[in-house]
A = this chain, B = another copy of it.
Amino acid sequence: MNDSVEARELLYEGKAKKLFATSDPDLLLQYFKDDATAFNAKKRGTIAEKGVINNAVSEVFFRLLEREGVPTHFVRRLDDRRMLVKRLEIVPVEVVVRNVIAGSLAKRLGLDEGKPLPEPIVEFFYKSDPLDDPMINAWHVLVLGMATKPELDRMVALTLRTNAVLRPFLAARDIVLVDMKLEFGRHHGEILLGDEICPDTCRFWDSSSGEKMDKDRFRRDLGRVEEAYQEIARRVGA
């Protein structure tokens, strides 16, 4: 059945991906662009072949997670830049899980970047470009009706499970999973992990040198951005 899926109209164009309808109402086509943005699109650029790498790296992670019991929207990778995914009704909450202090956590709380946390910290952000994705908490999610209690509990459990699966997988490849942003959606009543998992949405640090191997190289103008993305792909076997 999937073999005969045809791309139809563009449903949505985001900062890094396009989403197309297909001939199957349950499936969408996710197209990975090379466009890179940061600071809520105040900074814009291109990272050569980023789309190809993020598609391939996401495939590796989604396949691994599915094997480890995390249901995802991944169906299969179609080609270099296109992934077939299950259609999700997106929950407007980004879930971030952190293992090491970095980025906005360091800045907001005046903490030193690089300090490992004794346990993961989970954070929620309301997906809204005009509002700059403000931080929210579980009460906002529930009382403002963004998700139900069972849905939110499931999202948190899947986030912690995803972190618990990817951390050792990456550590074995000399990569520290510093933090990552996950998105979830509803598909026939079930919560699935959606979006992508890649150097755009995670912080990856080299275990020995501590060197950044993710979008922070673009955000902070550190240079060798493409090389870092390629090295992540190489190490995870994408």
Q: Are A108 and B121 in contact, CB atoms less than 8 angstroms apart?
A: no
- Report the bound CA distance from A220 to B39 in whole Å: 30
Q: Is A128 an interface residue (CB 8 A)?
A: yes
Interface positions, chain A 120-149, Cβ under 8 Å from B, are 120-124, 126, 128, 130-131, 134-140, 142-144
| Chain B hits for A144, CB < 8 A | 109, 111, 121
Q: Are A109 and B122 in contact, CB atoms less than 8 angstroms apart?
A: no
Q: Which residue of B lies closest to A145 (CB)?
A: B118
Q: Are A123 and B108 in contact, CB atoms less than 8 angstroms apart?
A: no
- Report the bound CA distance from A9 to B139 in whole Å: 42
Q: Are A117 and B143 in contact, CB atoms less than 8 angstroms apart?
A: yes
- Report the bound CA distance from A29 to B111 in whole Å: 33
Copies of this chain in the oligomer? 2
Q: Is A110 an interface residue (CB 8 A)?
A: yes
Residue from B122, B134, B143 in contact with A108 in the complex, judged by beta carbons closer than 8 Å:
B134
| Chain B hits for A143, CB < 8 A | 117-121
Residue from B111, B123, B126, B137 in contact with A124 in the complex, judged by beta carbons closer than 8 Å:
B137
Residue from B117, B121, B131 in contact with A109 in the complex, judged by beta carbons closer than 8 Å:
B131
- Report the bound CA distance from A51 to B131 in whole Å: 37
| Chain B hits for A124, CB < 8 A | 137
Interface positions, chain A 195-217, Cβ under 8 Å from B, are none
Q: Are A126 and B109 in contact, CB atoms less than 8 angstroms apart?
A: yes
Q: Which residue of B lies closest to A121 (CB)?
A: B139
Interface positions, chain A 35-49, Cβ under 8 Å from B, are none
Q: Are B122 and A139 in contact, CB atoms less than 8 angstroms apart?
A: yes
| Chain B hits for A128, CB < 8 A | 109-110
- Report the bound CA distance from A138 to B120 in whole Å: 12
Q: Are A130 and B110 in contact, CB atoms less than 8 angstroms apart?
A: yes
- Report the bound CA distance from A110 to B127 in whole Å: 12
Given A109-B131, A120-B143, 16 new contacts (CB under 8 A): A108-B131, A108-B134, A109-B128, A109-B136, A109-B144, A110-B128, A110-B130, A110-B131, A117-B143, A119-B142, A119-B143, A121-B144, A122-B139, A123-B137, A135-B135, A137-B137
